[in-house]
């Protein structure tokens, strides 16, 4: 919750906690560390204000799994289609 509060309160969140995911049309990655475990939550913004959480996973390797990126992009697309 601390990381989500940080995103809500700060006008500019450090990349340590929130990073734009290149070549994804608006997908961001929230980074959460609990002890030695590292978790990632994909999210995107709705009209610059609302943070929509898509999917999360525990990161065990240096590279983000492609299927997790694809899942997040599919959730984003479904969200945007339902808003229309």
Residue that the structure tokens 């599919």 belong to: 74
Specify the pTM.
0.85
Angle at 36 between CA 34 and CA 38, to 5 degrees: 60
Q: What is the pLDDT of residue 83?
A: 84
Digitized pLDDT (tens) for each residue of the chain, 84 residues in all:
788 888 888 888 888 889 998 888 899 999 998 888 889 999 999 987 778 999 999 988 888 889 999 999 999 999 999 987
**Residue 22 contacts residue 9 (beta carbons within 8 Å):** no
Q: What is the pLDDT of residue 25?
A: 86
Report the alpha-carbon distance of residue 31 to residue 3 in Å, rounded: 8
- Strand residues in the chain grouped as ranges (E): 18-20, 28-34, 37-46, 50-58
């Amino acid at each position: 919750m601390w990381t989500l509060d940080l995103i809500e309160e700060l006008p500019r969140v450090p990349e340590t906690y929130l990073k734009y995911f290149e070549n994804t049309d608006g997908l961001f990655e929230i980074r959460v560390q609990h002890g030695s475990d590292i978790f990632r939550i994909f999210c995107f913004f709705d009209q610059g204000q609302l943070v929509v959480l898509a999917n999360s996973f525990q990161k065990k390797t240096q590279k983000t799994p492609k299927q997790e990126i694809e899942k997040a992009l599919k959730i984003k697309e479904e969200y945007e289609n339902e808003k229309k």
